[in-house]
Amino acid sequence: AQSVSQHNHHVILSEAASLELGCNYSYGGTVNLFWYVQYPGQHLQLLLKYFSGDPLVKGIKGFEAEFIKSKFSFNLRKPSVQWSDTAEYFCAVSYNTDKLIFGTGTRLQVFP
Amino acid sequence: NAGVTQTPKFQVLKTGQSMTLQCAQDMNHEYMSWYRQDPGMGLRLIHYSVGAGITDQGEVPNGYNVSRSTTEDFPLRLLSAAPSQTSVYFCASTGGTAYEQYFGPGTRLTVT
């Protein structure tokens, strides 16, 4: 079955630390990949997306993600996190349809 | 553009009561969907619609009904609320390249 795995459920970092959140999807074929962010009390917002071209995708607020097809992965990275990055992060995949499959989310807490 | 709007923001129901969660979008998107968000489970698809008059079940459809009489509106009905339906509900519509989903602000529902 199609699925998305996010390995880190809860990540705690200090400000200026580097961040990498893992995301793997279940099998190959043509995929579109997304990272969404949900700040406390708010709805989901798109952070970045990949649908073709350069596998290194840059998003808002200094985030980037790399699509590695051979590993079925789309890990999210940020070189230096800020307190304002405290949020829940969701990886999602669509197999060339409108239907999105979400991971279970990673809660990031950044302490000053 | 208001984007995706949802009402109400908060709702408390007693077991057995019925209610409708409203969702509307003004982006002329064909695809709309309803998710529920529960701690540790990410977003799970309840129902979706690929256009006016067409709806289909998602991952967790039991206890919920939907209809799509217009492109703009996609209400979610709880026929007989149960405590297991306590959750945060998000409506989304899909448009643009790569099937990007736009989320509404959510409805926090508590069933006692």
> Tell me: the pLDDT tens digits for B69-111?
999 999 999 999 999 999 999 999 987 666 788 999 999 999 9
Backbone dihedral region of B72: left (phi > 0), alpha (psi from -120 to 50 degrees) or beta?
Answer: alpha
Residue for token digits 């003004």? B26
| A102 bridge partner residues | A92
Distance CA A7, CA A76 (A): 12
Per-residue confidence (pLDDT) for residue A31, from 0 to 100: 87
First vs last Cα of chain A: how many Å apart?
41
Q: What are the percentages of helix, strand and coil residues in chain B, rounded to 5? A: 5, 55, 40
| Both tokens assigned to B96 | 């643009």
CB B76 within 8 A of CB B89: yes
More confident residue, A87 or B41: A87
Q: Of B40, B43, B48, which has the smallest distance from its Cβ to A102's Cβ?
A: B43
Contacts of B103 in chain A (CB under 8 A): 36, 43-45
* Alpha carbon distance A66, A64 (integer Å): 7
Residues of B with CB under 8 A from a CB of A: 30-31, 33, 35, 40-45, 48, 50, 58, 90, 94, 97-101, 103-106
The whole-number average pLDDT for the span A23-40 is 89
- What are the CA-CA distances from residue A97 to residues A33, A81, A101, B42, B90 (Å)? 12, 33, 10, 20, 19
Mean pLDDT of B36-65: 93
Q: What is the pLDDT of residue B96?
A: 67
pLDDT value at position B98? 60
Tokens of B15: 């077991």
User: pLDDT-derived band of residue A107, with 50, 70 and 90 as boundaries?
Assistant: very high
Cα–Cα distance measured from residue A87 to residue A13, given in angstroms and rounded to the nearest whole number: 12
Q: Does residue A28 register a pLDDT over 70?
A: no
Mean pLDDT of A5-21: 95
Would you put residue A26 in left (φ > 0), alpha (ψ -120 to 50) or beta?
Answer: alpha
Residue A94 has pLDDT above 90, yes or no: no
Tokens read off for A47: 């952070």
Residue range A18-22: mean pLDDT, rounded: 97
Choose, out of A3, A88, A100, A101, the residue to mutate when testing the contact with B (most B CBs < 10 Å).
A100
Q: Please check the confidence at residue A19 and state whether its pLDDT lies above 70.
A: yes
Least confident of A50-59, A92-101, B55-64, B75-84: A92-101
Cβ(B35)–Cβ(B88) below 8 Å = no
